Amino acid sequence: MSMVFLAISACSSNSSDKGMTCHGEIRSLSGQPIGETNALIIDNVNSFSVTMPTMTVDSGILYSSDRTQFLPTAVTAQGFLAQRLSDKKFSLVNAQQDQWITYFCP
């Protein structure tokens, strides 16, 4: 029985718990380039966190009524719109500061 538990535990562990350093492109909401950044992203599939030099943003539970048609999205405690665009691409939108950051992970 312990062998089965060990196998299930190994399959359910998340190898990305340590996070990935990802490159970010900062744009205005109208799409004008503003700059670049890097952040540590921890992807938990149904949520993710972004650790930037000045703060950490936790997406909370991402929601999509149909993941084949709509991006999983959440509004963070800071008021950002967080989106999981793909397994390696994440987005934070900060409307108050007219910023849209798209992170590309290896």
What is the pLDDT of the chain when averaged over all its residues?
86
If one compares 3 and 73, the residue with the highest pLDDT of the two is 73
Reported pTM? 0.81
Q: Which domain holds residue 37?
A: 2-104
| 40, 50 Cβ separation under 8 angstroms | yes
Count of domains observed in the chain:
1
Helices (H), 1-106: 2-12
In this predicted structure, the answer to whether residue 16 has a pLDDT above a threshold of 60 is no
pLDDT at 69: 86
From 21, 13, 77, 10, select the one nearest 45 (Cα to Cα).
Answer: 13
2-15 confidence digits (pLDDT tens): 444 333 333 333 44
